[in-house]
C-alpha cells in the first residue's frame, strides 16, 4: 500500500543541504546588502561569522578561521598549494573527493614524495601507514561513500608534518579532535544548510608557522595565497576576504550559527545528527533489502548516509524517480562515481519526524520498482 503521510520537508540532498527548521529568508538582516564588503559594516559581519565559528566549534587558542572563495574545494586547494612540498605527503582516500585530492597532489602539484593509500567505497584505508614525519591529507567524512573516520588515534601528538583535513560534511556534525588537526576545511552549504560558493579554512599555529617559513616552488595564484613576504595575510582571518563575498550568503550563515546556538550548541547539533542516524539503523535492521554502504557500524556516517539495495541499477533509478515524483524525497541518488544506491542526508537541519515519514515510502518504492 502506498503510504499517506509524507515528510513535511522532502529535501534530503547531501549538498546544498536542507535549511534549518523554521528558516525564513525574510527574517535575515539585509543591512549589509548593497554595501561594500570592505566597509566597516561588511568587515564586522565577516568578522562576526569568523568569531562565532571559532566559538561554537570550541577551537583551541591560537587557531585561526578564514572565509575563502570556492567552497570547500577552494579551501582545500588553497591549503594544499600553499603548504605542501616541504615534506613527503601521505594522502588517504576512500571515495571521490579524497581521490580528487590524491590526483591533485600527484598530477597537478606533481609531488615526487607522495604516497597514496586507498580503500574501496564502504571501507577505510589503513591509517597505521601514516608517517608522522610526513604531511597527511585526508577527509574526515566521505560524503560520497557514507564512511567517516571514527577516531584520530593514528595521528601522532609528536608529529613533525601537518595534518590537512577536508571536513566539509563533518564540522558541526561530528566531534573533531582539533589538537590532531593542523588545517581543516569545510563549506557552510553542507552541515548548516547555507548557500554555496564560500569555504572556511581553519589553521593551527603549526600551519601558520609553515606558511611563514616556507615558500612553495610553484607559482601561486592570488586566490590561493595565504602568506606574503614571510607573513600570514592576517586580514583573511579578520574579515578582509581575498575576493568579494556574497553578503547575503554571510547573513544566511550567521542565521545558521544562531540556530546552532539556540538548540544547545555544537554538542546538541552532533547529538541530533547521531539520533537521526539511529532511525536509519533501526530501519536497516528490520529490512533485509537495504543496508549501509559502510562496512561497519563504527564508521557509518551520521550525515551523508549511503545505502546499497538488493536491486539493479535500473531499479534503483526507478526508486529515486518514484520518490521524487511523489514529492517525498529529492536528490537522494548515490553520487555519480559511487556504487548504485541511495544517499540520504541526516544532519541536524533534518527533522526526525521527516526521516520517520520517509521510511515507509522507501519500502513502497522498493517494492514497486522490484515487483
Whether 6 is covered by a domain: the verdict is: no
**Which grid coordinates are listed for 247?**
553578503
Number of separate domains in the chain: 2
Residues 107 and 68 in one domain: yes
Residues 97 and 204 in one domain: yes
**Which grid coordinates are listed for 59?**
577551537
**Which grid coordinates are listed for 313?**
541499477
Residue 79 Cα distances to 88, 255, 367, angstroms: 15, 27, 47
The residue segments making up the domain with residue 297 are 265-370
User: What CATH number should be reported for the domain holding residue 97?
Assistant: 3.40.640.10
Residues 206 and 223 in one domain: yes
Please give the chain's pLDDT, 371 residues, in tens.
999 999 999 999 999 999 999 999 999 999 999 999 999 999 999 999 999 999 999 999 999 999 999 999 999 999 999 999 999 999 999 999 999 999 999 999 999 999 999 999 999 999 999 999 999 999 999 999 999 999 999 999 999 999 999 999 999 999 999 999 999 999 999 999 999 999 999 999 999 999 999 999 999 999 999 999 999 999 999 999 999 999 999 999 999 999 999 999 999 999 999 999 999 999 999 999 999 999 999 999 999 999 999 999 999 999 999 999 999 999 999 999 899 999 999 999 999 999 999 999 999 999 999 99
Strand boundaries in 44-113, DSSP class E: 64-69, 89-93
Residue-wise over 328-341: b if at least 16 C-beta within 10 A, else e? bbebbbbbeebebb
Whether 27 is covered by a domain: the verdict is: no
CA atoms within 13 A on the CB side of 163: 26
Residues 138 and 63 in one domain: yes
Residues 71 and 197 in one domain: yes
Whether 12 is covered by a domain: the verdict is: no
Q: Which of 261, 280, 297 is the last residue of a domain?
A: 261
Q: Which of 207, 240, 261 is the last residue of a domain?
A: 261
Structure confidence by residue, pLDDT tens digits, 129-168: 999 999 999 999 999 999 999 999 999 999 999 999 999 9
Whether 7 is covered by a domain: the verdict is: no
Structure confidence by residue, pLDDT tens digits, 254-263: 999 999 999 9
Whether 11 is covered by a domain: the verdict is: no
Amino acid at each position: 500500500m502506498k503510504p499517506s503521510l509524507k515528510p513535511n520537508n522532502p529535501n534530503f540532498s547531501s549538498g546544498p543541504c536542507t535549511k534549518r527548521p523554521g528558516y525564513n529568508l525574510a527574517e535575515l538582516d539585509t543591512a549589509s546588502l548593497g554595501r561594500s564588503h570592505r566597509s566597516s559594516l561588511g568587515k564586522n559581519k565577516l568578522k562576526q561569522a569568523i568569531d562565532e565559528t571559532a566559538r561554537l566549534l570550541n577551537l583551541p587558542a591560537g587557531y585561526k578561521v578564514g572565509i575563502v572563495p570556492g567552497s570547500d574545494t577552494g579551501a582545500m586547494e588553497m591549503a594544499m598549494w600553499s603548504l605542501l612540498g616541504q615534506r613527503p605527503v601521505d594522502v588517504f582516500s576512500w571515495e571521490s573527493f579524497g581521490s580528487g585530492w590524491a590526483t591533485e597532489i600527484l598530477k597537478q602539484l606533481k609531488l615526487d614524495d607522495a604516497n597514496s593509500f586507498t580503500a574501496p567505497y564502504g571501507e577505510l584505508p589503513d591509517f597505521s601507514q601514516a608517517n608522522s614525519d610526513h604531511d597527511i591529507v585526508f577527509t574526515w567524512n566521505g560524503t560520497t561513500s557514507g564512511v567517516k573516520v571514527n577516531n584520530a588515534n593514528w595521528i601522532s601528538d609528536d608529529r613533525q608534518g601537518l595534518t590537512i583535513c577536508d571536513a566539509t560534511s563533518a564540522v558541526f556534525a561530528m566531534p573533531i579532535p582539533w589538537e590532531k588537526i593542523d588545517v581543516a576545511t569545510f563549506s557552510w552549504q553542507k552541515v548548516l544548510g547555507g548557500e554555496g560558493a564560500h569555504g572556511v579554512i581553519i589553521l593551527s599555529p603549526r600551519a601558520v608557522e609553515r606558511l611563514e617559513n616556507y615558500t612553495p616552488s610553484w607559482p601561486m595564484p592570488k586566490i590561493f595565497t595565504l602568506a606574503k613576504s614571510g607573513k600570514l595575510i592576517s586580514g583573511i582571518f579578520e574579515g578582509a576576504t581575498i575576493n568579494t563575498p556574497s553578503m547575503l550568503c554571510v547573513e544566511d550563515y550567521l542565521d545558521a550559527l544562531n540556530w546552532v546556538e539556540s538548540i544547545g550548541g555544537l554538542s546538541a547539533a552532533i547529538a541530533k545528527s547521531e539520533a537521526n542516524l539511529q532511525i536509519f539503523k533501526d530501519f536497516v535492521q528490520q529490512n533485509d533489502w537495504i543496508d549501509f554502504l559502510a562496512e561497519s557500524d563504527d564508521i557509518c556516517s551520521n550525515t551523508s548516509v549511503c545505502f546499497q539495495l538488493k536491486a539493479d541499477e535500473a531499479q534503483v533509478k526507478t526508486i529515486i524517480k518514484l520518490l521524487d515524483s511523489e514529492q517525498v524525497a529529492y536528490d537522494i541518488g548515490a553520487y555519480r562515481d559511487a556504487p548504485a544506491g541511495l544517499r540520504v542526508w541526516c544532519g541536524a537541519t533534518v527533522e526526525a519526524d521527516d526521516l520517520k515519514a520517509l521510511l515507509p515510502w522507501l519500502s513502497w518504492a522498493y517494492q514497486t520498482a522490484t515487483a
